[in-house]
Amino acid sequence: MTSSSTTEPRIAFRASAAEDARAALAVLVARYGDAPAEEADVVVALGGDGMMLQTLHEQMGRATPIYGMNRGSVGFLMNEYREEDLIERLAAAERTAIHPLTMRARDREGRIHVAKAINEVALWRQSYQAAKFRIEVDGKPRLQELVCDGVLVATPAGSTAYNLSAHGPLLPLASPLLAMTPISPFRPRRWRGALLPDRAAVAIDVIEDEKRPVAAVADNTEFRDVRRVEIALDRKTDLVMLHDPGHGLDERILAEQFGW
């Protein structure tokens, strides 16, 4: 990618609090400069997947592409860290556009809370007792009672995160799908979730919410004591990630399914 006004892109760097990320930040800023985020052509995030998600949330609404370099642990969303040839790597990078979920949660007091999720929206039990949910898709009841520790709705980009740990399906990035995955289901015991069209509007009601309190979480934003949660893909918001050729998310999702 190139800047419209200069031969080299204006880069804004962001780093996690990890020691390796802070050290990399100092080296890269000295070498390439550091533009204000609102003026940058690209944001380079240094850290792990959590840092990438944080940066995506910070840049939401700006559509500034984000190029991550791994200075964390897993780094599924990140590129390999190298100090050299960053300008060339940015120029050759492949773009991946994703959309976040919008979560609209109503709590026990009737208050409405709205948050965005790039990976998933998850509902969790808050107490020792299992939660009970009623699930609607596009206004039609699909599951009258799900007894479990929780349930989540994941985007294709988020299907490799908590969804995968909960034994949910991996989704190719370009697939027009969302994954709904239960967390430790008790009844119906054999229900393992559903694949939904990404245009679907999901509504989850909490049954016996005072006896079995539930929290709703959009990525890292949590609201407690919810009674109803509505989830839908926000097609108006584009989030752009950059990856080195041959190392995009589609390739990583394929590799994950074959044990790499």
Residues 45 and 122 in one domain: no
What pTM value is reported for the model?
0.86
Per residue in 43-93, pLDDT (tens digit) is: 999 999 999 999 999 999 888 999 999 998 777 889 999 999 999 999 999
Q: Are 79 and 112 in a shared domain? A: no
**161 belongs to an annotated ligand binding site:** yes
Helices (H) and strands (E) in the chain, counts: 5, 17
Q: How many independent structural domains does the chain possess?
A: 2
Q: What percent of the chain has pLDDT over 90?
A: 82
**pLDDT higher at 102 or 254:** 102
- Is 49 annotated in a binding site? The answer is yes
CA neighbor of 41 nearest in space, from 87, 83, 3, 97: 3
Any idea what the CATH number is for the domain that residue 108 is in?
Answer: 2.60.200.30
Do residues 89 and 189 both lie within one domain? no
Confidence of residue 172 (pLDDT cuts 50, 70, 90): confident
* Residue 27, φ and ψ in degrees, nearest 5: -65, -45
Residue type, 207: I
Residue 162 marked as a ligand binder: yes
Do both 89 and 167 map to the same domain?
A: no
Q: Binding residue per annotation — 149?
A: yes
Predicted local distance difference test score (pLDDT) of residue 259: 65
Whether 201 shows a pLDDT value over 60: the answer reads yes
Q: In percent, how much of the chain has pLDDT > 70?
A: 95
- 6 located within any domain: no
Instruction: Quick: pLDDT tens for 140-166.
Output: 999 999 999 999 999 998 998 899 999
* Catalytic (active-site) positions: 49
| 143 is an annotated ligand-binding site residue | no
pLDDT computed for residue 260 by the predictor = 54
Annotated binding-site residue? 119: yes
Q: Do 161 and 190 sit in the same domain of this protein?
A: yes
Q: Are residues 107 and 180 in the same domain?
A: yes
pLDDT at residue 1, as a whole number = 53
Range of the domain at 143: 101-233
- In terms of Cβ atoms closer than 10 Å to its own Cβ (0-12, 13-18, 19+), residue 256 is middle
142 and 227 assigned to the same domain = yes
pLDDT digits (tens, 9 = 90+) for 13-29: 999 999 999 999 999 99
